[in-house]
Amino acid sequence: MEVMEYLSDKPVRQFSKPEVVTEHKKYDYYAEIDTSKGKIVIDLLEDSAPVTVNSFVFLALNHYFDGLKWHRVVPGFVAQTGDPTGTGAGGPGYQFGLEIDPKLSYDAAGWVGMARTNDPNSNGSQFFITLAPTPHLTGAYTIFGKVTEGLDVVKKLSQQDTIKTVKIMRKPKP
């Protein structure tokens, strides 16, 4: 598996749009999130949500998530991060729409989804990881990843915890 090179040396938190940095037909993408509680590995679902995965990878490669708090943690529901203001109202300076794969559902802990406002075109940088099945979110929030390692870490997160860094890895598809 190849580790993708960062695009910046320090966190960049404002963009007009994401650059295209993924080739979803050619590579399978993974994110390793190093938190103050430990590591979380996510299989990014580039075929189900190519726009979302590209945006997430672009932000991670610009150290966007480094140092951000898990600003919303609701036991038995979700742990949410990705807002540089820490208020739940911040974003990267651009927004994009929902990507719904009817084959996916929030049927277990460990699904990774995009947080948004009531506007379905308001995806940005905030994302959440489910802590339990949350079927009422299915079809309303983009699912773009699944935790493959570190679900125990996710379940220990609190609002005092932070992301140290996010590393993006990829491997060629068969």
Report all structural domains of the chain as residue ranges with CATH numbers, in order of start: 28-172 (2.40.100.10)
Name the average pLDDT for the chain.
Answer: 97
The tens digit of pLDDT for each residue in 92-151 reads: 999 999 999 999 999 999 999 999 999 999 999 999 999 999 999 999 999 999 999 999
Sheet containing 163-172: order of strands: 2-3, 163-172, 27-35, 38-44, 143-149, 111-114, 127-130, 78-81, 72-74
